[in-house]
């Protein structure tokens, strides 16, 4: 289900699309999109942990990337990465050893968002992920396990798979690969790299926006 956010200029943007006028705000949902694709992998025999945390600040008017947050995360429950993890993501043990814990990374996310003006109540923004897993299951689950709070801004997001299916009329079974193929886009970087996945999400969003698609929140209130 697509939920329309109450953004002051949303209706005027939709009206402009109906009459074919140039779009002053391509994204039409918020002033900024926060593209997130946390990389959680099997770090041990009994569970997943987040080991990469990238976010792109995407301007809702131009659909261009304005800022990047990117950190690797030291797994604490299962500190040793498996060979499967490294083969899948390209992340080796040395890239996470000595890195901040998830708690520290989340603190730095908050600092980065404040610096970028994304915590200003007058600035509208929302996270975008490739699926619901990152913010509906993985992050809340790991925070609960570690006894960490989940910031309210992580509780609203756009599932790009749902947005794409609404725009294109088909479900992308293979995620980013299918979406890039459906839009005739070249895949950026390495599959299953968190930061590269974010760049692909941003590129797909830009392409859909230029085709006139209006992004809407897809997550339900917690």
Condensed to tens digits (0 to 9), the pLDDT of residues 72-94 reads: 999 988 888 888 888 888 999 99
Three-state DSSP state, 135: helix
pLDDT at 123 over 60: yes
Give the model's pLDDT for residue 39: 62
Three-state DSSP state, 179: helix
Decide which of 185 and 41 is more confident: 185
pLDDT at 54 over 60: yes
Mean pLDDT across the chain: 83
pLDDT at 4 over 80: no
Give mean pLDDT, residues 97-118. Answer: 96
Domain layout of the chain by residue ranges: 32-211
Cβ–Cβ under 8 Å, residues 48 and 38: no
Per-residue tokens: 53: 């945390």
Range from 3-17, 47-61, 128-142 carrying the lowest mean pLDDT = 3-17
How would you classify the pairing of strands 48-59 and 39-42? antiparallel
Tokens 């479900």 correspond to 171
pLDDT at 40 over 90: no
Give the model's pLDDT for residue 158: 94
Decide which of 197 and 6 is more confident: 197
Q: What is the fold, at CATH topology level, of the domain defined by 32-211? A: Nucleotidyltransferase; domain 5 (3.30.420)
Decide which of 38 and 79 is more confident: 79
Question: Which DSSP state fits 217?
Answer: B
Helix axes 194-210, 160-168, angle to 10 degrees: 30
Task: Report the C-alpha gap between 198 and 189 in whole angstroms.
Answer: 10
Stated pTM of the model: 0.84
Q: What percent of the chain has pLDDT over 70?
A: 82
Per-residue tokens: 213: 């698609």
Three-state DSSP state, 1: coil
Decide which of 123 and 107 is more confident: 107
Give the model's pLDDT for residue 1: 23
Give mean pLDDT, residues 152-170. Answer: 95
pLDDT at 20 over 70: no
Give the model's pLDDT for residue 77: 84
What phi-psi label fits residue 16: left (phi over 0), alpha (psi between -120 and 50 degrees) or beta?
alpha
Task: Report the C-alpha gap between 74 and 69 in whole angstroms.
Answer: 16
pLDDT at 151 over 50: yes
Q: What percent of the chain has pLDDT over 90?
A: 61
């Amino acid at each position: 289900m697509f939920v329309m956010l109450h953004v002051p200029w949303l209706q005027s943007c939709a009206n402009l699309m109906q009459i074919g006028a140039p779009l002053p705000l391509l994204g039409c949902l918020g002033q900024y999109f926060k593209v997130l694709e946390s990389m959680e992998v099997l770090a041990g025999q009994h569970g997943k942990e987040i080991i990469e945390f990238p976010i792109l600040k995407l301007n809702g008017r131009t659909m261009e990337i304005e800022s990047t947050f990117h950190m690797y995360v030291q797994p604490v429950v299962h500190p040793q990465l498996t060979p499967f993890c490294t083969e899948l993501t390209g992340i080796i043990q040395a890239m996470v050893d000595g890195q901040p814990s998830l708690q520290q990374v989340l603190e730095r996310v908050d600092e980065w968002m404040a610096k970028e003006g994304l915590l200003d109540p007058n600035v509208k923004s929302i996270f975008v992920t490739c699926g619901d897993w990152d913010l509906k299951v993985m992050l809340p689950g790991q925070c609960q396990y570690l006894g960490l709070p989940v910031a309210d801004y992580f509780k609203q997001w756009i599932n790009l798979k749902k947005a794409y299916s609404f725009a294109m009329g088909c479900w992308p079974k293979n995620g980013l690969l299918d979406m890039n193929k459906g839009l005739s886009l070249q895949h950026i970087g390495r599959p299953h790299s968190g930061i590269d996945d974010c760049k692909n999400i941003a590129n797909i969003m830009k392409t859909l926006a230029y085709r006139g698609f209006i992004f809407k929140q897809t997550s339900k209130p917690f």
